[in-house]
Amino acid sequence: MKKIVVVGLGNPIISDDGVGIKVAQAISETLQDENIAVKEVYAGGLRLMDALVGFDHAIIIDAMLHVKGTPGTIKKFGVQDFAATRNIGSSHDMDLNSAIELGRISGLKMPQTLDIWGIEAFDILSFSENLTNQVSEAVPKVVSSILHDIKALTNDNVSLVRG
């Protein structure tokens, strides 16, 4: 059985930047499976890499911010698109590609596959534990999509607390 990690990434007290954390919390309330871990991470780079050690597949959820993006828009990215989300890279740390490569060189078991779910943010400046309406409405949709992906990854052999 594949070991999967779901990582909600962001800052839970900066309005929409906390959307990854909110999605991870919702998934955590739904999943009850020993082969799937759900984690909250507040910074990219080496801290994010550390959360991925020991897993076969990683799913990362983060806020994204595009110049002409529509708040609440959901997009699934692959490994080639790491720079598209808000917290994957850091000017104070290394980018995720470099961090994963460092982990592999160091002999750590790193995920062989990785998906990133981005949710277009509206407000990434206000101190608030609440998401804006558009971004909040996207949360159950992303949760449902990720649970669907997890079922596919596990050949529908995953334990859910509810439906």
Q: How much is the pLDDT for 24?
A: 98
> Which residues, at least 6 apart from 159, have a Cβ–Cβ distance to it below 8 Å?
31, 32, 33
Q: How much is the pLDDT for 93?
A: 57
Q: How much is the pLDDT for 161?
A: 67
**pTM score:** 0.88
Beta bridge partners of 61: 8, 117
Q: How much is the pLDDT for 81?
A: 63
Residue-range definition of the domain harbouring residue 103: 4-153
User: What are phi and psi for residue 68, nearest 5 degrees?
Assistant: -115, 30
CATH number at residue 107: 3.40.50.1450
Does 159 fall in a domain?
no
Q: How much is the pLDDT for 66?
A: 78
Does 15 fall in a domain?
yes
Domain count along the chain: 1
* Tokens standing for residue 76: 């699934």
Q: How much is the pLDDT for 1?
A: 81
Q: What is the mean pLDDT of the chain?
A: 87
**Ranges in the chain, pLDDT < 50:** 86, 163
Q: Is residue 114 within a helix (H) or strand (E), and if so which, with residue range?
A: strand 113-120
Q: How much is the pLDDT for 103?
A: 86
